[in-house]
Amino acid sequence: MDWTQVLEIQQVLNGYFRALDERDLEVAQLERLFMPDARVVRPNGAMLVGPATISQSHRESMARFSSTQHLLSSQDVAIDGETASVRANLVAMHLWPDARGNANSPENYFLAGGVITAGFVRTSEGWRISKVENRVVWRAGAGFERMAEIGR
Judge contact between 17 and 70, C-beta under 8 A: yes
With a threshold of 0.85, does the pTM exceed it? yes
Provide the residue count of the chain: 152
Distance CA 15, CA 122 (A): 16
Confidence of residue 152 (pLDDT cuts 50, 70, 90): very low
Average pLDDT, the chain: 91
CA-closest candidate to residue 38, choices 117, 128, 134, 116: 128
Amino acid (1-letter code) at residue 102: N
The residue-averaged pLDDT of 129-148 equals 83
Residues 88-123 pLDDT 10s: 999 999 988 887 767 788 888 889 999 999 999 999
